[in-house]
Amino acid sequence: MPPVVRTVLLCDLVDSTALVERVGDAAAADLLMRHDRMARDLLSACDGLEIDKSDGFLLLFERPAAAVRFALGYQDGLARLAAASGLLLRARVGIHLGEVVLRENPPADIARGAKRIEVEGLAKAIAARVMALAGDGRILLTGVACELARRGMVGAGEAEALAWFAHGDYRLAGVAEAVAIHEVGAYPAFVAGPLPATGKAWPVASGTAAASAAMQVLAVLAFDNLSNDPEMQFFSDGVSDEIIQRLSSLSSLKVIGRTSSFQLRGEQKARAAALLHCSHVLDGSVRRAAQRVRVSAQLIETHANITLWSQRFDRGLEDIFAVQDEIAEQIAAALDETFTRPARPAVDPAVYDLYLRAQPQSFAPDELRVHVVTLEAVTARAPDLAPAWGRLAFLRAWLHFYQPFTERPASAARVRAEAARALELEPQRSDALAGLLFVNPPFGQFAAGEAVLDRLRANPACAEAIYVGWFMRTTGRVRASVAPTELAFRLDTLNPMAANLLGLAYMAAGRTQDAVPLFEDLVERTPGMSFPVSSLLRAYAFQGEWAAVDRLLAVAEKRELREFREGLPFIRAKRDPTAARIAEWRDSLATQVARSGGIDLSHLVYAAHLGLVDEAYAAAAQARLGPAGTADDIMGPDGYRTALLFQADMPELRDDSRFPGLCARLGLVEFWLGSGQWPDCRDEVPYDFVAACTAARAIAPERCGPPTP
């Protein structure tokens, strides 16, 4: 056959042979089977051709843009497999465009195990050399492939979301001419550092660009406690945590969340770069004796394993904030960033100790109450300590989710006052902003919530950015909510709440298959968390995995599901939608309205999905759409919120032309018309959604809360 021009992609798992040693033959075989299925499903979607499969894949594509789409999707899929398995899974990808010769083997050879098509030519060798350069989890491509891929993806509007980086010209073994090497990644978590040394490729002159030209990702590890008292570890953690808070305010520097970085201690710190995919690591130690403290810190550039900066500070304990500011300022200078030092008062060491101890672990109501009382004492004794005010507003707002609705107005007022004080002292305290977002009513005041969201978006690396997508889903912007949630997850991959919210975002967008591994991992490693159990039950039900539902129901009986337990009747009715079970749902709607006069939106969505659309709208017409102020009101972060209305797999309520009228009562129509930020369903329902909303704008939004006496 004559030569043809094709895009050649080679990829393989790094250290795949070591996988068997870590998990055993059976587990490794199962994981590799899931890996291969993921890759082949993606390959089909990208119109690629599989040529060979051994430790990795040899693939052909018609166009470089399709190869890049595959590579990015493959890395994302691998990240999900890694999160689900708890293993470190990395792959390297090399892409080149050039002439290849395709030789089809005769049927007899294929029957004896030969490949159907053989690929021959220099292009295959170049792709292999480029893949060898890719090293640890990177996507490299030659200059000609990069130019055409960018051109093709610009036309589709995709290139703007990607980071493209030129490493310069490289000599590849067996190739006469120097080859330009480029790298691509998903912005803004992309990091391009020096390429690894290899005997089959070497740079021409100074072809390697500095890592600072690309997006930088910093992991601040928990500083080691060198004091004699093991109780001082909380103090060491607090020093690191405050440095994270300061550095997270920098506009272009992305900082890994503390929940992930603080899990790596002792010998595990050596794995930080690989596990957290960061370009830089800040580590250090704290030694405290009486009222003196010694803090040592060092900044390491991970790709070259070079210490960029290190210093030791010996100060009185009352100067600890000044030390943290100096560390943040010098790190910013080492990374060519601009650090603005906030004004911080001197703090009594005993008060500072109290502040550091008020760090939540489980977010259980009893734990939250203790921390709120502690922080009230801290702010009374240190009224100018912005971090304490911000944390107090944040934790009181979390506790707010579990308080009776009759008590919430007073609680919300306190949160707003505490957040206002924190923001007066530090205008971008993200924990204070999250507190304001949490006490925004579940419905009726979406514009106020969006205003808070805009301020959180200004700092996408802050820990509280995980709630941006959560709020967006309540106004129906489901597809757009996925990207910020994925970014928050990438910056805090070991944070259970970040994984939980990403799973919910995937489910809301109809990507249940992507959500399941996240929830399965959470059920396994966070037994005290109720959210993933209920979400996984619903995911299994929508996939028709009833055996898995039964296994999880056995787990649910031993777990505290709190507000999510009432979702179990829906799971049973979906599994066995007999006339009797549907009648039970019909009766439960009428009973709830008669008993309390109110109804939760989830009941309406579930009823409509079970075929009771008219009954759902009839119940909504007779009831308030919020809490009744009774003991059976739904608690928790999602109680009476509107996100479930826009779940991709449950469109029945939305597809009815009465839906805009329901949304008008919730204040959604007012928000959509005023902001122009329309929900995804605008283009999906079988009627003119905008016209229907315009007609419904005269319906006054209802107040979310129990009836006033």
Percent of the chain residues past pLDDT 70, beyond the cut: 88
Query: How high is the pLDDT of residue 597?
Result: 85
Say if residue 671's pLDDT is above 80. Answer: yes
Return the CATH number at 458: 1.25.40.10
Domain boundary residue, one of 175, 208, 241:
208
**Is residue 355 situated within a structural domain?**
no
Return the CATH number at 319: 3.40.50.10070
Say if residue 423's pLDDT is above 50. Answer: yes
For residues 569 and 586, the answer to whether their CB atoms sit within 8 Å is no
Residues 178 and 229 occupy one common structural domain: no
For residues 489 and 499, the answer to whether their CB atoms sit within 8 Å is yes
Residues 489 and 614 occupy one common structural domain: yes
For residues 317 and 341, the answer to whether their CB atoms sit within 8 Å is no
H helical segments located in 557-667 = 568-575, 579-596, 601-609, 613-622, 659-665
SS (H, E, C) 295-363: EEEEEEECCCCEEEEEEEEEEEHHHHHHHHHHHHHHHHHHCCCCCCCCCCCCCCHHHHHHHHHCCCCCC
Q: Which helix (H) or strand (E) holds 33?
A: helix 25-45
Residues 410-430: what's their mean pLDDT?
94
Q: Which helix (H) or strand (E) holds 124?
A: helix 122-134
Query: How high is the pLDDT of residue 211?
Result: 34
pLDDT tens column, 501-556? 999 999 999 988 888 888 888 888 887 777 888 889 999 999 999 999 888 888 77
pLDDT band at 213, cuts 50/70/90? very low
pLDDT tens column, 316-364? 877 777 788 888 788 877 766 666 666 667 778 788 888 988 888 777 8
Query: How high is the pLDDT of residue 250?
Result: 67
Averaged confidence pLDDT in the chain: 84
Find residue 309's DSSP bridge partners. Answer: 299
**Is residue 478 situated within a structural domain?**
yes
Say if residue 87's pLDDT is above 60. Answer: yes
pLDDT tens column, 511-521? 888 888 888 88
Query: How high is the pLDDT of residue 698?
Result: 94
What pTM did the predictor assign?
Answer: 0.67
Burial of 436 (0-12, 13-18, 19+ CB in 10 A): buried
CA distance 303 to 193: 6
- Tokens coding 192: 């391009």
- Please give the span between the terminal C-alpha atoms of the chain, in angstroms, as a whole number: 86
Residues 170 and 226 occupy one common structural domain: no
CA distance 121 to 200: 18
Find residue 599's DSSP bridge partners. Answer: none
Domain boundary residue, one of 321, 344, 367:
344
**Which residues have a Cβ under 8 Å from the Cβ of 382 and sit 6 or more positions away?**
345, 347, 348, 351, 352, 355, 388
Residues 678-702: what's their mean pLDDT?
95
pLDDT tens column, 631-641? 778 888 888 99
Residues 47 and 195 occupy one common structural domain: yes
How many domains is the chain built from?
Answer: 3
Query: How high is the pLDDT of residue 206?
Result: 37
* Phi, psi at 493, each rounded to 5°: -65, -20
pLDDT band at 384, cuts 50/70/90? very high
Residues 111 and 140 occupy one common structural domain: yes
Residues 238 and 183 occupy one common structural domain: no
Residues 21 and 59 occupy one common structural domain: yes
For residues 627 and 634, the answer to whether their CB atoms sit within 8 Å is yes
For residues 121 and 101, the answer to whether their CB atoms sit within 8 Å is yes
Residues 279 and 144 occupy one common structural domain: no
Domain boundary residue, one of 344, 369, 402:
344
**Is residue 392 situated within a structural domain?**
no
Say if residue 67's pLDDT is above 80. Answer: yes
**Buried residues in 498-525 as b, exposed as e (16+ CB within 10 A):** bbbbbbbbbbbbbebebbbbbbbbbbee
SS (H, E, C) 145-201: HHHHHHHHHHHCCCHHHEEEEEEEEEEECCCCCCEEEEEEEECCCCCCCCCCCECCE
**Buried residues in 255-291 as b, exposed as e (16+ CB within 10 A):** bbbbbbbbebeeeebeebbebbbbbbbbbbbbbbeee
Residues 588-604: what's their mean pLDDT?
87
Residues 204 and 222 occupy one common structural domain: no
**Which residues have a Cβ under 8 Å from the Cβ of 325 and sit 6 or more positions away?**
246, 341, 342, 344
Nearest to 495 by CA among 468, 518, 470: 518
CA distance 491 to 189: 8
| Number of Cβ within a 10 Å radius of residue 240 | 25
Return the CATH number at 117: 3.30.70.1230
**Is residue 435 situated within a structural domain?**
no
Residues 195 and 296 occupy one common structural domain: no
Domain that holds residue 93: 4-208
pLDDT tens column, 149-205? 887 886 556 665 677 777 777 878 777 778 889 888 875 556 556 666 555 666 664
**Is residue 536 situated within a structural domain?**
yes
Residues 470 and 613 occupy one common structural domain: yes
| Number of Cβ within a 10 Å radius of residue 422 | 28
Q: Which helix (H) or strand (E) holds 379?
A: helix 365-381
For residues 619 and 599, the answer to whether their CB atoms sit within 8 Å is yes
**Is residue 160 situated within a structural domain?**
yes
Residues 597 and 630 occupy one common structural domain: yes
Half-sphere exposure of 227 (CA within 13 A, CB side): 21
**Buried residues in 131-156 as b, exposed as e (16+ CB within 10 A):** bbbbbbbbbbbbbbbbbbbbebbeee
**Which residues have a Cβ under 8 Å from the Cβ of 187 and sit 6 or more positions away?**
161, 162, 163, 215
**Is residue 475 situated within a structural domain?**
yes
CA distance 391 to 378: 11
Query: How high is the pLDDT of residue 221?
Result: 93
Q: Which helix (H) or strand (E) holds 293?
A: strand 292-301
Task: Tell me, rounded to whole angstroms, the distance of Cα 54 from its chain centroid.
Answer: 32
Among 13-22, 538-547, 618-627, name the one with the lowest average pLDDT: 13-22
**Is residue 627 situated within a structural domain?**
yes
pLDDT band at 246, cuts 50/70/90? confident
Residues 363-390: what's their mean pLDDT?
93
